[in-house]
Amino acid sequence: MASADNNIYFIITANPPSPNSHINAGQICFIGKQRFDLWQKRNDRNMPVVCMGTPFDVYLNEVLLQQLKPRSAELLLALESNEMRLLALKDPEALKEASNLSEGSQVYVEYNGQWLKGVIRYGLSTSSYMSDPIRGVFFGVELQGEDKEKGQNDGSYLHQTYFTCPKNSGIFAPFTRIKPVDHKPSAPLLPTQSSLSMTSTEPLKVGDRVTFLSDINDHHGMIMDIKDSPDGKMVLISTDRDKEGKQGGEMLVPLDFVIKEEPLNKDETEKMDTSQGSEMGGVTDFDEITVGSLVQILGKELAYGIVRWVGSLPDCLETIAGLELENSSAGVTDGTYKGKRYFNCPPRCGLFVKLSSCRPDDRFSGAKEQHFNGHSDHNGAIVYEEQENVPPIRTEDVSKRLIGKKKGIQGHCNSCYMDSALFSVFSCSSVLDSMLFKSTEHETIQNILLKNIVNPLRKQGFVSERSVMNLRKQLQNREHCPTYTTDEKDPEEFLSLIMQEILSLDPPLKLCSHSGSRQKVQSCYYYQIFMDHNHHLVLPTVQQLLEHSFYSNSLKLAEVPACLILTMPRSGKSFKMFPKIIPSTELDITGLLADGPQQCVLCGQLANEECAECFRDTVFSDTGFKYFCEKCSTQVHSHQQRRCHKPRRLLLPQGFSYSQSSGSDRRTPPREKLELFAVLCIETSHYVSFVKYGPQDTDWIFFDSMADRVGEIDGYNIPEVRACPEVGQYLHMPLSQLANQVPREMKGVAKRLFCDGYMYLYQSRTMSLYR
């Protein structure tokens, strides 16, 4: 268990926006001091913290966090609810006094509505999660004098004795029920005691116009009734718009969340308070979001708009942004809040949200700053300026720009095949970028792909499901296929459609098939590996599978491809031919080329013969077509088992010659190799991807467009990109050791790569310069 001295503690002061909406204000969290120092150097607003009771990191904006001393964190952690912690935080003097209490301190303790006199005998620590670095601290108090035997125990708690005292003279209590004797006792702080000063200066009554504040929206309406409940007073409001956006709904909300709207006279209504907004417009919690910025907010669905005002609102601790939304059905105001105007916009087009909930609009990202300097057309639609193009994410920028939750491409409605394919091809590689700029009659689809998906992915690390759905709709219209926006497809089918039929990209793969003495060249966009049943492979590499498939189908490469997309042998999406496949990080295609110098597999010199029958001979290595120089071929085929073989004479490449003395050119032929840059995997019809983003063995990331979900029917998916350096460790493990690995015991997500590999993407950095 980590020492409390090695951590920095915080309390979350407001409910975080999505994707951390499952976290509540009042929770205690922490970060290691060394990690905190590294975070400060990165100048990042989102801090990686761990909430008490959980083992996982979450990234929270620093404005949501208030730092605590370790002792204060322990005292607050003992309180029963998040609401009680937030209420106790409003009395810093009481927290400070409690931090100075120790064994022997004379105190008053609240019990059954009475303040009883006693002395502290013990500080009891409790925890609900064993890995928490600190525990909630209760005080064990022994009652004194005339208050003896007015307590609840004898110093024992849950059958364990912490101190001894007479029967019913001991009490365990949190610090909110403890006061030093020199502090005048007052009523205990209870969450049921409402503070109307936070909401209204006078009592609310039936018929009052009010505003109800939710996480990011405010709702307006009239009070129909005020009721008592076990949780305190509740207000029944007839709203102008209910939670589902319907007119005239009713909502039952806590009294503390209701604000009375004061009536305005005509002069006040027309007066617009812009001084505070303009003052804050240039400096916000997020430097890239200011007045005029194009933003999006993610709730049940994405909403887009323009920041019209940035500043502070009454009773709101966080910085607030006033938005004019594109979709009027998503708004609730015309720029007024609690009767005060902060900006102008049409009715029900305005929305006040936390600035931390806003993100730059990913539909129009590029190298230019996202400010609205454009105009509206005659229909009121926003016209945007042209955006610059963005190169693939550099190795050194992947950690900051791409890794984390709500990163990558957001999945929606069976889109994982498309999300994974687009992320694999475009996030960190430019090998297929030519199709983004090639002249085409389908400019709409090309622009959506470039400006709404590829550029935002590379610049901000996030693409909303709306952008991908827009692409799916365009493809559906183009193909007249009614299921393109609803059903799952194969990633190779999608990539072929985009490259071949939509953007007319030249096929990157050219194959030679041998039929007798005739040689036929065929072009394709990907290669499906087919295996005959006459093979001995148990734990194959991609290199072996490709060679066996080429051998079985009498195929060779006509030229070195800039990009090679391979799909693995399968029978449907559920049946896998091999339980594991080892990704070949380098694919040596020298022996697969139809034309070019080949190397003798025995001596390494220039080969002049190829023997197809030797390919399956177990005497030789498990990889590579079998090429021999004249001398080695004679020796090999002198064996009685190989005398029936019929080696094929190779054509001598230009610039090479055979030596009469040695039978071969002594120069070593060059090797042609492709590098693996991405792998798509499938398990139970769900696609994910791995991307090799840098030169180091551990430079691997894992992407899942539907890693998490908020809500059910009306919810949304949360994509995630995570570093997976463990993949490199397994890839360099000896084959015998790797074969003994139990999949479910493999570290991290490595099991997905080795057991679920479906599509492997290779590139030639040299050839891609010419394509």
In the predicted model, is pLDDT for residue 35 greater than 90? no
Output the pLDDT for position 554.
80
d(CA 529, CA 566): 7
Output the pLDDT for position 280.
32
What's the gap between Cα 363 and its chain centre?
18
Contact between residue 712 and residue 23 where contact means Cβ atoms under 8 Å apart: no
Name the token pair of 66.
């208030």
- Per-residue pLDDT of 380-416, as tens digits, reads 333 333 456 888 999 999 988 899 888 999 988 888 9
In the predicted model, is pLDDT for residue 43 greater than 60? yes
Residue 257's pLDDT band (boundaries 50, 70, 90)?
Answer: low
HEC string of 48-87?
EEEECCCCCEEEEEHHHEEEECHHHHHHHHCCCCHHHHHH
Residue 184's pLDDT band (boundaries 50, 70, 90)?
Answer: very low
Residue of higher predicted confidence among 575 and 360? 360
The neighbouring-strand residues paired with 653 are none
Residue 68's pLDDT band (boundaries 50, 70, 90)?
Answer: very high
Query: If you average pLDDT over residues 31-41, what whole number do you get?
Result: 87
In single-letter form, the type of residue at position 634 comes to: T
d(CA 692, CA 424): 9
Q: Which of 279-288, 309-318, 716-725 has the highest average model confidence (pLDDT)? A: 716-725
In single-letter form, the type of residue at position 346 comes to: P
* R_g of the chain computed on alpha carbons: 34
Residue 680's pLDDT band (boundaries 50, 70, 90)?
Answer: very high
Q: Which of 31-35, 368-372, 690-694 has the highest average model confidence (pLDDT)? A: 690-694
Average pLDDT, the chain: 77
In the predicted model, is pLDDT for residue 328 greater than 50? yes
The helix/strand/coil state of 97 is helix
Question: What does 601-647 look like in DSSP terms, one character per residue?
Answer: TTT-SB--EE-SGGGG-TTS-SSS--EE-HHHHHHHTTSTTTTT---
The reply to whether 293-360 shares the fold of 7-90 is: yes
Name the token pair of 438.
């090639």
Minimum mean pLDDT range among 263-277, 303-317, 617-631, 721-735:
263-277
In the predicted model, is pLDDT for residue 219 greater than 50? yes
Name the token pair of 524.
């394709």
Residue 294's pLDDT band (boundaries 50, 70, 90)?
Answer: confident
Output the pLDDT for position 724.
93
List, in order, residues 6 or more apart from 160 with CB less than 8 Å away: none
Instruction: Please give the helix or strand (H or E) that residue 570 lies within, else none.
Output: strand 570-571
In the predicted model, is pLDDT for residue 457 greater than 80? yes
- Given the candidates 3.40.50.620, 3.40.50.720, 2.40.160.40, 2.30.30.190, the CATH classification of the domain at 293-360 is 2.30.30.190
Pairing outcome for strands 648-649 and 302-311: unpaired
Question: What does 441-497 look like in DSSP terms, one character per residue?
Answer: S-HHHHHIIIIIIIHHHHHHSEE-HHHHHHHHHHHHHHHT-TTTTTS---HHHHHHI
Residue percentage of the chain with pLDDT more than 70: 75
The helix/strand/coil state of 688 is strand
What's the gap between Cα 292 and its chain centre?
27
Output the pLDDT for position 476.
82
How many CB atoms are located within 10 Å of the residue 581 CB? Answer: 26
- 143-154 as b/e: b if 16+ CB within 10 A: beeebbebbebe
Output the pLDDT for position 190.
35
Output the pLDDT for position 218.
53
Rounded to 5 degrees, what are φ and ψ at 290? Answer: -135, 180
What's the gap between Cα 575 and its chain centre?
29
**Closest Cα partner for 403 from 40, 723, 754?**
723
d(CA 434, CA 432): 5
Minimum mean pLDDT range among 393-402, 413-422, 577-586:
577-586
Residue 426's pLDDT band (boundaries 50, 70, 90)?
Answer: very high
Q: Catalytic residue positions?
A: 416, 686
In the predicted model, is pLDDT for residue 236 greater than 60? yes
Query: If you average pLDDT over residues 62-83, what whole number do you get?
Result: 87
- CATH class, range 208-260: mainly beta
Burial classification of residue 443, based on how many CB atoms lie within 10 Å of its CB (0-12 exposed, 13-18 middle, 19 or more buried)? exposed
Residue percentage of the chain with pLDDT more than 90: 13
d(CA 511, CA 148): 94
For domain 101-180, the CATH architecture is: Roll (2.30)
d(CA 382, CA 271): 27
d(CA 282, CA 477): 43
- Per-residue pLDDT of 329-358, as tens digits, reads 667 788 888 778 888 887 778 888 878 778
Output the pLDDT for position 3.
46
In the predicted model, is pLDDT for residue 150 greater than 60? yes
Name the token pair of 707.
């890693």
Query: If you average pLDDT over residues 503-518, what whole number do you get?
Result: 74
d(CA 473, CA 477): 6
d(CA 491, CA 770): 26
pTM: 0.52
d(CA 725, CA 399): 12
- Given the candidates 2.60.120, 2.70.98, 2.30.30, 1.10.3210, the CATH classification of the domain at 7-90 is 2.30.30
Output the pLDDT for position 288.
67
Output the pLDDT for position 691.
95
Half-sphere exposure of 211 (CA within 13 A, CB side): 22
d(CA 749, CA 745): 10
770 torsion bin: left (phi>0), alpha (psi -120 to 50), beta (else)? alpha
Domain residue limits, the chain = 7-90, 101-180, 208-260, 293-360, 598-649
